[in-house]
Structure 1
Amino acid sequence: MVKWKWLRDYAGIGLGTVITALALNIFLIPNKVAAGGTSGLATVLHHTFGLPVGLTMLALDIPMFLLSLKILGARFGVNTLFGAGILAVSIDFTAPFVPVLTRDLLLNSIYGGVLAGVGMGIVFKFKGTTAGTDLAAAIINKLTGISIGQALLGVDFFVIALAGVVFGSAELSLYALISLFVTTKIIDLVQEGPSAAKAFFIMSSSSGEVADAIMAELGRGVTMLAGRGAYTKSERDVVFCVVSTREVSHIKDLVYRIDRQAFVIVADAHEVLGEGFSSPR
């Protein structure tokens, strides 16, 4: 079982890196959209000195990987080297064979960001990484105390700004920012999944009746959370349950049929595992 899980993870990392490579070669690299990361820096060097993007990325990643081992310890292992290596090979191998679909910078930024986000999301979902600026951000965090998120934003912004200076176009930097934003959003979507369910927090003076109705009419499990009003100091049960999106209207009607004064919070639940929903992998 462990062996198959190991093979599945590496197959997933490989698939994700190939998709990322296609995003770079079809949309971003040919159009000088350097959307941060070592791929962005390699794109700048490619158009300036003619260096192959994949090999340049690997040349940038390996020293950072070795430095991270020294500074951060053995936190980044085989998966990092595997992801970085496969991505570099995939970029240089597929570059001569893939078409450039459009020269429209907005289309390239959006679709390149979407496809790169799908690829990177798959890599992260299977516990992999492609090294790059996340290593640089982790090193900066360790040495300076700056948060990883701020460090990552700073590194990517530097790469995007550098591309704008080298290419002599602020417009390219603006498009690169669009691509980076799209990529990060798609990565989150791939990892968390679409909002397939809704979580309800219901505060009502008739919480027991509401809970019974949800279980009887919807067949959904309910958890009673102990709550206490900060102003009134009164204790009251909070009804918590998760339902599918198609049941949202039903549960709201049910709650307000019982208690018109109920206070209801509805939140997105991106991944729900367990009875009535998805099974754990």
Structure 2
Amino acid sequence: MKNKKWYKYFIDYVAITFGTIIMALSLNMFLGPNTIAPGGVSGIAIVIQKITNGFVKIEVTNLLINIPLFIGGVLVLGKSFGAKTLYATIGLSFFVKIFPNSVATSNLLLASIFGGLLIGIGIGIIFRFGGTTGGTDLGAAIINKYFPGLSIPKIMMSIDLIVVVFAGIVDKKLDTALYSIISLYILVKVIDQILEGLSYSKAFLIISNNPEKLGSAILKEIDRGATILKGKGMYTGNDRNVLLCVVNRAEITKLKNLINKLDKNAFVMVTEIHEVLGEGFTEIKS
């Protein structure tokens, strides 16, 4: 068990390191050189670098803002952030410092798309393995502690929008703010994809006159389990059994054909599920 725990921590820190490297490449090659600031502390750092004509580097601002935020988070919210957040914060500044500032493209659209994509991948990996880079999420949590009426997402969005607008003002171009919004949108979507998983599954809720027969066929022909839920029709007042079954993408058509073959009058609801944990799907990890 100790060896397994040690191995897990090792993998976590390797993944977080990889995430900070991807973020650093995005900041140095796409976002920073084009003053595209997709919110957060990284966006603030890009704006400050522009204001100071490169005198105050991104890695310096990242540390100057995140280290006090980390200390404040520990004091206000407790020690739940742990070493991973501190490691990711310092690691991001380190890699931004050692990687060269080479402009991959001067096209603002391409820079906003690929910059947002890369930084979203980096943050998503860090989040996935239990770390954070501090930033607005930590600052929002501290503010929420004292002002519980303000939700964390609203605080984060407000800060991000201020940063985006400020980037446009500093660069004296409306385009810069608009491209920053594109990058912010892509960043958020990529993080969601990484955290929720890319292999979507479908949940079928099936109201059938013969749920036992259909459930047995699903188990035999598709090799998926099913659960019978108790329901009651509001119009008729009759008790009905509802069959719940979760399948992956490759099995969706098979299940539809099976339902059509066994009960053409079945009422079927299909809903998308972003992540399924347990037997037959993704293993539940501690």
Q: How many residues of Structure 1 are paired with residues of Structure 2 in the alignment?
A: 279
Cα displacement (A) at 1:279: 3.6
Task: Establish whether residue 104 from structure 1 lines up as the match of residue 107 from structure 2.
Answer: yes
Counterparts of 1:9 and 1:113 in 2: how far apart (Å)? 23
Q: What are the Cα deviations for residues 134-183 of structure 1, in whole angstroms up to 9, with x where unaligned?
A: 11111121121211111111111111111112221221111111111111
| Distance (Å, rounded) in 2 between the aligned partners of 1:15 and 1:267 | 34
> Residue 257 of structure 2 aligns to which amino acid in structure 1?
D
2:252 matches 1:248: yes
Shift of 1:74: 2.1
Matched, 1:277 2:264: no
Q: Distance in 2 between matches of 1:231 and 1:132?
A: 53
Q: Which 10-residue stretch deviates more, 225-234 or 25-34?
A: 225-234
Mapped to 1, the partners of 2:123 and 2:240 lie a distance apart of 44
Cα distance in 2 for partners of 1:121, 1:188 equals 7
The structural deviation recorded for 1:280 is 4.0
Which residue of 53, 73, 82 maps to 1:68?
A: 73
Contact kept in structure 1, 2:50 and 2:170, CA below 8 Å: no
CA RMSD of aligned residues (A): 1.6
Q: TM-score, normalised by structure 1?
A: 0.93
2:22 to 2, 19, 23: 19
Could you list the per-position Cα deviations for residues 168-226 of structure 1 after superposition, in whole angstroms to 9, with x for gaps in the alignment?
A: 12211111111111111111111222134322121222222221221122121111122
**Offset of residue 233 of structure 1:** 3.4
Q: Which moved more, 1:187-196 or 1:168-177?
A: 187-196
Residue in structure 2 matched with residue 260 of structure 1 by the alignment: 264
Distance 1:172 1:254 in 2: 53
- The corresponding residue for 1:91 is 96
How far is 1:26 from its partner?
A: 1.2
- Given that 1:137 and 1:148 are in contact with CA atoms closer than 8 Å, whether structure 2 keeps it comes out as yes
Equivalent position amino acid for 2:231 in 1? G
Is 1:201 aligned to residue 205 of structure 2? yes
1:72-221 to 2 correspondences below 5 Å:
72-96=77-101, 99-145=102-148, 146-221=150-225
With 86-95 and 123-132 compared, the bigger mean Cα shift is at 86-95
The CA deviation at 1:276 is: 3.0
Question: Matched residues in 2 for 1:221 and 1:150: separation?
Answer: 40
The question of whether the paired residues in 2 share the 8 Å contact of 1:55 and 1:89 is answered with no
Q: What amino acid is aligned across from residue 6 of structure 1 in structure 2?
A: Y
Q: Structure 1: state its 5+ residue gaps.
A: none
> How far 1:71 sits from its partner (Å)?
2.1
Identity fraction in percent: 43
Partner Cα distance (2:248, 2:84) in 1: 35
Distance in 1 between the 2:36 and 2:231 partners? 51
- Rounded to whole Å, the distance in 2 between the matches of 1:101 and 1:39 is 18
Cα distance between partner residues in 2 of 1:125 and 1:21: 18
Residues 6-55 of structure 1 deviation map (CA, whole Å, 9 limit, x = unaligned):
11111111111111111111111111101100110000110111211011
Q: CA separation in 1, counterparts of 2:120 and 2:245?
A: 31
Indicate the larger mover: 75-84 or 38-47. Answer: 75-84
Shift of 1:246: 1.8
Quote the offset at 1:231 in angstroms. Answer: 4.3
Moved over 6 A (4+): none
Question: Aligned with 2:133: secondary structure?
Answer: coil
The 8 Å contact of residues 35 and 180 in structure 1, kept in 2 or not, is answered as yes
SS at match of 1:8: helix
Structure 2 length-normalised TM? 0.92
